[in-house]
């Protein structure tokens, strides 16, 4: 669960909708036809911009920005270091079973490649292509929210223009001017709401998530290649630790004592 | 047929035009002179920005965003793997006839180059240049829609300024103010409509299409070079599979059984 | 003559000015002082942004976007291939006279370098620098139109602000409100007109022209180096053909028969 | 203490708030609900865009833009040169104690790596990764202020739309029109204030700070590697001096006499 | 003296201010408090965005965009060629005196490095770093004007919002509406004026200047390295000439006769 997305959205929704309710006439902000024109029109234009395959992934991608957990980098380092130790003791083939039990498809596939005796260069090429593809697919997902953020205010303005043109043609009754403009402005409100409370923050969150995931996979590739090269588990750990931000390095060191003493020995 | 373009456009059109019809006066939104100024002016400026050769391609490019099918990546992999098998059995020259029968000009030209015994480096150079040229030409096509998306709202505003200036000079009759502004705003509506319902989504769709097509051609180049190098058909398949998104890999595996067993052997 | 520029500008001008004339009061859109403020102010700011040397080139650059012909790529390929043939038959020195007779300074200078026996690497370095310099100078020219496209609407708005402030201070006579605003809006109209009917399309056209010219010069460099290396004229043609878009390749093949048969021989 | 941030903010605040107070009704600009909608809504959307870990760093990052001192480049050069001298005289191990006493964690860690006898290539790789990570983390921090700068005016406009729609529905009392619009505009004012007086300048300041810090760390890496390579302290100084802007080079030369004379000797 | 800056600014100022004076009430555009809020607020935010050291350079940078002369590329080529000749005749050490007499610090430092016998690679590294630093420092200067161009209109709008809110609260006297809005709009006018008549053109001019200066320094580096390598003065000239635009090449050839004849000899 991504608390930041949930809490942030709750704050934004409560404050905007609270402001509307405090105004005393929340009903004035509910207009089904305006919502259809702004939201539906935006959605239609986003579909046009994408492929059907991408559109089908939209609910999953949206869910991800709410429910995905950040990758457990410390856990990944520990797993890979324990694999490095086992591989040194019992050989690479001993990792086959452990790899099959992992939840993470990417790391288990990576280990399997190594266990299969694939050439290190090919392992790296295949995993790098996997990461590249993942990045491209994530970028495609983010693009849909970027299109939404760009098009929702535009369709909101389109709706307001429609409302204004209809209203201005019938200006006989000056008392109708105000309410007419109020209705016309609702689509602009919807467009701005969709873009700023939803599409822009989700797009930014997806960018953050992609960056984290790419980093965690690069960590796995570095680790798996070090294991295949039969490197000392302590060196493996040092190599992987540079991928962690300072705080996580500390928490890794806390969970595992005795590493500092060995560090001095290695230097000699 | 690109369902996403057709369905998306239908949704956007129905909702926007439906909103106008529901307003009760659809005739108010039809103004031939305003359409001429906004649409025609935009078109003139787009022509200025381009070359005649590019402008002549505009209908074809627009059609492509509606009717082009996504490249059949799974089929491409299967074709190239079957070619790799035949080339191993019967030699490269045996591919000449098959290549000539293919609908796809790019792959048949690529195979022909290999059959002709062209040097591998030259094959790669020629095909890469072809892909680069394709990318450039697609970018030129997309640029016209980008220009349209930028200029249509600008010409819409230009038209509204013309309308406003004319109306404001004759403010004697206050009753004419509303309808005058309504007419003036119609060009802004047209400009926004052209940009957001048409030009921006088409431009984004063309970008998506280009990306797909480039990927499919890079897959062909990789495959053809592997065939020329006389690589094992199974290795060719492995190399090409990395170009497929996860779902397509599964569908490829389903269509072709027995690959998993061989994978184990190769590793030894 | 660049028909696209001329026709596109004609369409845009006719439709916008036609719309104004159809409004019945074209005189309302002619205001010398407003034009001075918007057009002159923009021009002043563009001068500030540039150097005197660049400003002096402005008429020539503008003319180029109207009158320049696209480079004749097919002709270039034919010329270079015929040079390659002559060089093979009679030696490089035989090209001296032909090169001197060419209208195109770049190609004749390139051939002269080769005839002079300059080292191939130095030839390439000098010609690449020439192309790089050309690209930079073209970019400098385009920048002036980009500045114009950015600043004209800004000066238009500045003029409108001036008009609004003056008008709003004297609101005693409500009848003067409309005409006052009409006058104030004319500078915004001028600014938008300069940017969208002139500066933006010209800037885009210059970008297209630069791309074409760079391509044609890269073609010349490739050809001249191949001639210097004494390559087979048919190979020279193959190398240069990749620079042509599909349609031009066909027209080259049509003008020159028998190339297809030789292609088969080369492969052996 | 970053005087530029403090003084600049003071000037902007005094002039804007002074302008409000001079208007005679400062109370009109204080509206808690509007502030909640604009500021709170923006904050909610920024939280959505980020991770919890990043949000927790927000106060620290803000503080940094006010209180951080620019890195003392001259001091760093002097420290590193004195270390180079000591290392030459007494060996690398003699630096261990001095390094431990330094306040700057990065330089003391760098020296420690060298003292530990780590391989120079690994030292460089580890420190470069550290710098890369620092840059990424700083970029993440800056991104939050960029999101704020983008979203605050959007939420301000959202609030104004809410206010306008509510006001326009009740236009019976024309006297309420003005005050109603005044209230509606306050959120736009808040949004613009947050963005331009706070978020945009802080974001730019953070970019400046990051650039300085990266430069100072690259200086340390260059210096530490030169010390490890056992280079002449004078050469070390020459190498590090190129990182300093002209003014600081002069002040470095002033503090240390006699360097110019030696420069001539080295050249022989 | 940079005539383009001076003349351009004069044109823009005369036309805008002339337009105001022609309106008959220039006094209406002078409002000290509005200027303070817009100009002062912008300046405060620019200070916040920068460091004190950069702010202190602001007058010098502004002056440079008005008074700096473009680098004399032809003179530089002639100087370097004459140095190349002297170095060939009398040895590198003979350049020491000449170098010391040059006004240009960069070229005299470059020659000094060569005279000192510094290793060519180190000479290149030091001079490239100098150029890189210069580019960065120029970019920092330009950034301040970019910030001004971005923030001045924003502070103008902030001031107008303040004015509007104050005015709208006191709408009892409809006669005050116009003048009130006129005053409110003055800050928008100031903001737009600062950005478009001053900050944007100066920023673009600084970019042009930087490009020129970088080019002239790259020319010096190329020349100095050629001198150090003991190359033939004529080759040095050929190498440096490629840095000149066509017109300057002609003027160089005019000043120095006989070069064309030698070119033929070299080719043999």
> Over the stretch D36-61, which tens digit does the pLDDT of each residue have?
999 999 999 999 999 888 899 899 99
CB contact under 8 A, B175 and A170: no
Subunits close to D (at least 3 CB pairs below 8 A)? A, E
Residues in chain E: 268
Give B246's contacts (C-beta < 8 A, 6+ positions apart). Answer: none
Residue E39 C-alpha from the chain's centroid: 23
A103: helix, strand or coil: coil
What pLDDT is recorded for position C143?
Answer: 93
Q: What is the mean pLDDT of the segment spanning A12-39?
A: 89
Please, what is the average pLDDT of chain C?
Answer: 86
* Residue C231: band (very low, low, confident or very high) from pLDDT cuts 50, 70, 90: confident
User: How big is the CA angle at A144 (ends A142 and A149), to the nearest 5 degrees?
Assistant: 95
CB contact under 8 A, D16 and E41: yes
Q: Are the CB atoms for E80 and E234 separated by under 8 Å?
A: no
What pLDDT is recorded for position A259?
Answer: 46
List the one residue out of E172, E165, A178 whose CA is nearest residue D175: E172
Place of tokens 């945009």: D200
Instruction: Summarize pLDDT for C115-164 with one digit per residue, the tens.
Output: 888 888 888 888 888 888 888 889 989 999 999 999 999 999 999 999 99
Measured from the Cβ of residue D21, the count of other Cβ atoms closer than 10 Å reads: 12
**Encoded tokens for A97:** 């079973």
Q: Are the CB atoms for E67 and E2 separated by under 8 Å?
A: yes
Q: What is the mean pLDDT of the segment spanning A169-187?
A: 79
C-alpha span between C191 and B139 (Å, rounded): 29
Measured between CA atoms, how close is E200 to chain C, in angstroms? 8
**Encoded tokens for B97:** 């006839």
Place of tokens 């530490």: D224
pLDDT reading at D180 higher than 70: yes
What chain A residue is nearest to D130 in terms of C-alpha separation? A242
C-alpha span between B59 and B52 (Å, rounded): 13
CB contact under 8 A, E168 and D189: no
Q: To the nearest whole percent, how much of chain C has pLDDT over 70?
A: 93
User: How big is the CA angle at B9 (ends B4 and B12), to the nearest 5 degrees?
Assistant: 125
- Burial (CB < 10 A; 0-12, 13-18, 19+), residue B215, is middle
What chain B residue is nearest to C12 in terms of C-alpha separation? B41
Give D186's contacts (C-beta < 8 A, 6+ positions apart). Answer: D29, D31, D34, D159, E165
Q: What is the mean pLDDT of the segment spanning D82-94?
A: 90
Q: What is the mean pLDDT of the segment spanning D160-170?
A: 87
**Encoded tokens for C157:** 């708005």
> Alpha-carbon dihedral of residues B188, B193, B198, B203, nearest 10 degrees?
50
What chain E residue is nearest to D26 in terms of C-alpha separation? E166
pLDDT reading at E261 higher than 60: no
Q: What is the mean pLDDT of the segment spanning A12-23?
A: 90
What pLDDT is recorded for position B201?
Answer: 95
CB contact under 8 A, B166 and C204: no
Q: Are the CB atoms for B107 and B227 separated by under 8 Å?
A: no
C-alpha span between E34 and E40 (Å, rounded): 9
Nearest to D185 among E55, E126, E165 (CB): E165
* Residue B185: band (very low, low, confident or very high) from pLDDT cuts 50, 70, 90: very high
C-alpha span between B202 and B214 (Å, rounded): 18
pTM: 0.88
pLDDT reading at A262 higher than 50: no
CB contact under 8 A, A3 and D55: no
- Between the two ends of chain B, the Cα-to-Cα distance in Å is 46
pLDDT reading at D268 higher than 50: no
Q: What is the mean pLDDT of the segment spanning A122-151?
A: 89
Q: How many CA atoms lie within 13 A of B46 on its CB side?
A: 29
Residues in chain C: 268
pLDDT reading at C268 higher than 70: no
Please, what is the average pLDDT of chain A?
Answer: 86
- Among A212-221, C186-195, D114-123, where is mean pLDDT lowest? D114-123
Q: What is the mean pLDDT of the segment spanning D191-211?
A: 94
A258: helix, strand or coil: coil
**How far is CA D38 from each of CA A27, A236, D41, D242, rounded to the nearest angstrom?**
22, 49, 5, 47
From chain E, the residues in CB contact with D185 under 8 A are: 161, 164-165, 168
Please, what is the average pLDDT of chain B?
Answer: 86
Long-range contacts of C27-32 (CB under 8 A, 24+ apart): C28/B165, C28/B166, C28/B169, C28/C182, C29/B162, C29/B165, C29/C186, C29/C189, C31/C183, C31/C186
Q: What is the mean pLDDT of the segment spanning D81-90?
A: 91
Q: What is the DSSP letter of B116?
A: T
- Among A197-206, B103-112, E218-227, where is mean pLDDT lowest? B103-112
Tell which of B57, B95, B142, B161 to mutate to test the C interface (max C CBs under 10 Å).
B161
Helix, strand, coil shares, percent, chain D, to 5: 85, 0, 15
- Burial (CB < 10 A; 0-12, 13-18, 19+), residue B148, is buried
Residue A165 C-alpha from the chain's centroid: 41
CB contact under 8 A, D55 and A19: no
C-alpha span between A44 and B11 (Å, rounded): 5
Q: Are the CB atoms for B188 and B159 separated by under 8 Å?
A: yes
List the one residue out of C121, C119, C109, C231 whose CA is nearest residue E268: C119
Instruction: Summarize pLDDT for D209-257 with one digit per residue, the tens.
Output: 998 899 899 899 989 998 998 888 888 888 888 788 877 888 888 876 5
* ipTM for the whole complex: 0.85
List the one residue out of E123, E88, E73, E72 whose CA is nearest residue E233: E88
Measured between CA atoms, how close is E74 to chain D, in angstroms? 27
CB contact under 8 A, C188 and B161: yes
Which DSSP string do the residues of B194-230 spell out, in sequence order? IIIIIIHHHHHHHHHHHHHHHHHHHHHHHHHHHHHTT
What pLDDT is recorded for position B256?
Answer: 67
C-alpha span between A230 and A240 (Å, rounded): 15
CB contact under 8 A, E185 and C161: yes
Measured between CA atoms, how close is E129 to chain C, in angstroms? 22
pLDDT reading at A260 higher than 50: no
* Residue C256: band (very low, low, confident or very high) from pLDDT cuts 50, 70, 90: low
C-alpha span between A148 and D108 (Å, rounded): 49
What pLDDT is recorded for position A44?
Answer: 95
What pLDDT is recorded for position E118?
Answer: 82
What chain D residue is nearest to E134 in terms of C-alpha separation? D245
Q: Are the CB atoms for A20 and D165 separated by under 8 Å?
A: no
Place of tokens 């170095």: E87
Residues in chain D: 268
What pLDDT is recorded for position A257?
Answer: 58
Tell me phi and psi for residue E208, to 5 degrees: -60, -45
Nearest to A55 among B4, B15, B23 (CB): B4
CB contact under 8 A, E41 and D197: yes
Q: What is the mean pLDDT of the segment spanning C107-114?
A: 88
C-alpha span between A194 and A192 (Å, rounded): 6
What pLDDT is recorded for position C235?
Answer: 81
**Encoded tokens for A80:** 């890979």
What pLDDT is recorded for position E256?
Answer: 67
Place of tokens 């070090």: A226
Q: Could you tell me how many helices (H) and strands (E) chain A has, helices first?
A: 13, 0
Q: At what angle do helices E120-169 and E200-228 cross, to 10 degrees?
A: 180
| Farthest-apart Cα atoms in chain B, separation | 94
C-alpha span between D230 and D236 (Å, rounded): 9
Q: What is the mean pLDDT of the segment spanning B221-245?
A: 86
């Amino acid at each position: 669960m991504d608390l930041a997305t949930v809490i942030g959205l709750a704050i934004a929704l409560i404050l905007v909708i609270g402001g509307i309710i405090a105004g005393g006439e929340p009903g004035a902000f509910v207009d089904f036809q305006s919502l259809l024109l702004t939201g539906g029109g935006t959605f239609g234009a986003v579909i046009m911009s994408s492929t059907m395959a991408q559109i089908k992934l939209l609910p999953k991608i949206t869910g991800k920005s709410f429910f995905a957990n950040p990758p457990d980098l410390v856990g990944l380092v520990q797993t890979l270091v324990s694999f490095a130790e086992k591989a040194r003791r019992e050989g690479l083939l001993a990792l086959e079973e452990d790899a099959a039990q992992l939840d993470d498809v990417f790391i288990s596939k990576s280990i399997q490649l190594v266990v299969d005796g694939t050439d290190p260069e090919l392992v790296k090429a295949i995993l790098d292509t996997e990461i590249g593809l993942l990045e491209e697919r994530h970028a495609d997902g983010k693009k849909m929210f970027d299109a939404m953020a760009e098009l929702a205010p535009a369709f909101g303005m389109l709706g307001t223009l429609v409302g204004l043109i209809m209203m201005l043609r019938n200006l006989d009754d000056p008392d109708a001017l105000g309410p007419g403009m109020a209705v016309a402005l609702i689509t602009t409100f919807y467009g701005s709401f969709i873009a700023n409370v939803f599409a822009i923050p989700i797009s930014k969150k997806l960018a953050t998530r992609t960056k984290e995931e790419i980093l965690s996979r690069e960590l796995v590739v570095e680790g798996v290649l070090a294991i295949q090269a039969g490197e000392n588990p302590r060196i493996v750990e040092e190599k992987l630790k540079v991928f962690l931000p300072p705080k996580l390095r500390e928490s890794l060191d806390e969970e595992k004592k005795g590493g500092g003493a060995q560090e001095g020995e290695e230097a000699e």
